[in-house]
Amino acid sequence: MNRYIIKKTLFSILTLFIVVTLVFFMLRAIPGGPFTREKPLPEATRERLEEAYGLNEPLINQYFTYMGNLLTGDLGPSFRKPAYSVNELLATGIPNTAKIGFIAVIFIIFLGIPLGVISALKSNTAVDYGVMIIATVGITVPSFVIGSLFILLAQNVKWIPVGGLSTPISYVGPVVALAGYSLAFVTRLTRSSMMEVLRQDYIRTARANGLSESKVIFKHALKNSLIPVITYIGPMIAAIMTGSFVVEKIFYINGIGEYFTESIGNRDYTLVIGVTLFYAVFYIIMVLLVDIAYSVIDPRIRLSK
């Protein structure tokens, strides 16, 4: 078990290393640099700027310098926001992104799973159809459409602010837009997995032994039916964080997603790598946690490893 976790962790670090390298060289392949503007800077100014940031050195040297700093946790200065380091920018952006992301995830787990269970228990009734219709709509309508419609609503209604995160009510739009797809997906996944489990022999045995219905469902069925849901939820949490930049753009939220789109446009190399790294670390940790959670929940998996 421990060996398994250590192996996985080492592999994750290797992956991160490759991600950083890949992004570093990919960015340098983009035409234009951080100091190319529509109105060109004077040659001397540009050269001095590039010298100050070490951009005039050979690419490979820049790479090693960057990696060296990275090991100490320093993501470097932002090229386009000279007063700030990337670490500082991330520190201001992450809380906003994390807030809406966290609420969305809570929303998905505590609404999606119960809805799926109810739908499975009452399968082929009006309740089931109702839940499934809403879930299907959730899967088919893109988040930017939900977001835009919400903004439209906010512009016509006085008590919803149009953007930002100033009041509690202003969280509703971003969270709904962010959670929509995954909420619908989790509901559908829980439903189908629950129905699968309810057909198993051990459920019949449990019922035949005279267990109360609630015990059958919560103790035997739910636990087993959550396995595929957990597999989905891990990467989903990371995806919700990464998927947030459309939502942040629509709702004018100063989050990390906004930095990402902005920094790519500005060729702010260090900021792009910083944000990518944040997402990648987050994603990899989530996948790792799922792997571990998996082997805890389902002993069959541990045995086969």
Which residues of the shown chain bind other proteins in the complex (CB under 8 A)? Answer: 11-12, 14-15, 18-19, 23, 26-27, 29-31, 123, 136-137, 139-142, 144-145, 148-149, 151-152, 155, 191-192, 195-196, 238-239, 242-243, 245-246, 249-250, 260-261, 264, 272, 276, 279-280, 283-284, 287
**Residue number with CB closer to other proteins (47 or 262):** 262
- Distances in Å between the Cα of 134 and the Cα atoms of 37, 115, 122, 175 are 48, 11, 16, 17
State phi, psi for 165 to the nearest 5 degrees. -130, 45
Give the separation between CA 2 and CA 52, rounded to whole angstroms: 46
> Which CB sits closer to other proteins, 146 or 165?
146
Quickly tell me which residue has 């389902």 as its tokens. Answer: 298
Q: What's the sign of the alpha-carbon dihedral 283, 286, 291, 292?
A: positive
Question: Please, which residue, 55 or 236, has the CB nearer to other proteins?
Answer: 236
In whole angstroms, how close is the CB of 281 to other proteins at the nearest point?
Answer: 10
Interatomic CA distance for residues 121 and 110, integer angstroms:
17
Number of helices (H), then strands (E), belonging to the chain: the values are: 15, 0
Min CB(148)–other proteins separation in Å: 5
Concatenating the DSSP letter of every residue in 54-80 gives: TTTS-HHHHHHHHHHHHHTT---B-SS
| Residue 21 vs 62, nearer CB to other proteins | 21
Closer to other proteins by Cβ: residue 120 or 216 = 120
CA trace torsion 101, 5, 11, 290 (10° rounding) = -30
**Angle separating helix axes 222-242 and 244-251, nearest 10 degrees:** 60
Q: Report the nearest approach of other proteins to the CB of residue 105 (Å).
A: 15
Please say which residue, 19 or 183, places its beta carbon nearer to other proteins: 19
State the minimum distance, in angstroms, from the CB of residue 115 to other proteins: 15
Among residues 69 and 140, whose Cβ is nearest to other proteins? 140
Q: In the complex, what is the shortest distance from the CB of residue 175 to other proteins, in angstroms, rounded to a whole number? A: 18
Q: How far is the CB of 286 from other proteins (least distance, A)?
A: 10
Classify residue 199 by its DSSP letter.
T
* C-alpha closest to that of 232 among 118, 100, 112: 112
Closest separation in Å from C-beta 279 to other proteins: 5
